[in-house]
Structure 1
Amino acid sequence: MTAQLQTVLDGDTDIILRRDFAHPPAKVWRALTEPPLIRQWMAVEGHPMTRCDFDPRAGGTFHFEWQGPEGNGFFFSGPILEVRAPHHITHIEHFNGDPAMSARITTDLAPQGTGTRMTMVMRYENAEARAAAIATGMTDGMDEVYAKLDGLKID
């Protein structure tokens, strides 16, 4: 089981994330798509989550927003393109509403023993967009929040 987040740069445009969770796919799906559960694991210290909207259906949208320690904030938002619950979702993620800082995110959840293997592919328009996203520190803290997700009590 891969409890730590594995991050791989693939080609010029992709970031591939992999992590195993103790929960079965249906529970990981709920943690990834239900706002009350998202709020429990996605906030990090010093950055409280101030908005969490998620409509997990093709044609739906999402908006996640955080407050920064100096009053500065940031958000991710965009359309949901494809959903096959509880195993697959594809969406477009805009950072602070900037189309130049957008990625197509495909998340797949597969059974792994009694748990789940998550594979997420973040595809940017070009190498420069991927480099800019990495430079924002967007992967910092991901291991922390996914550890919180893994520790959630999900009924």
Structure 2
Amino acid sequence: MLEKVKADDFSYIYKLYMNPEVNPFLLYEMMDSETFRPIFDDLLKDEVLYLYKEGTKTLGMCKLVRQKYRDEHKLYLGGVAIHPEHFGKGFGRKMMLEIIDFCREKAILRIELTAAVHNKKAIQLYENVGFIKEGVLKNYTYLKSKNQFIDEVLMSNLL
């Protein structure tokens, strides 16, 4: 089940974003919790951050950013992460299918996302649930900690 993040979810979200197995594929560099707090507060205010749960167990998270005006039929999906202790158990696929159902319920016709070209597992997951590659965005993300730009593949799912 997808559930909007609340203020008291800070610790879980911070630890997942900063997990060394997850962080290289997400938007934010490694940082202490005090530095992350204003980022979390903005995400909370914008109401775009969701937890993925099964029963009472929190398994992961995602950002669902509905576009506006002429683009209101689109949603940008970002920050997709399953906690490493749940890797390889099919929860990523379940979460993606739930996101797709959520979008259908909200009359969203297009889901967009980007993934690092070297993130083969994520790309394969997205393709397995109906996303298609639309192109490669050159030097799209800058990894400050590595002083390196990476290319990302742009993918979409037309519902």
TM normalised by structure 2 equals 0.32
| Structure with a larger share of its residues in strand | 1
| Structure with a larger share of its residues in helix | 2
TM normalised by structure 1 equals 0.32
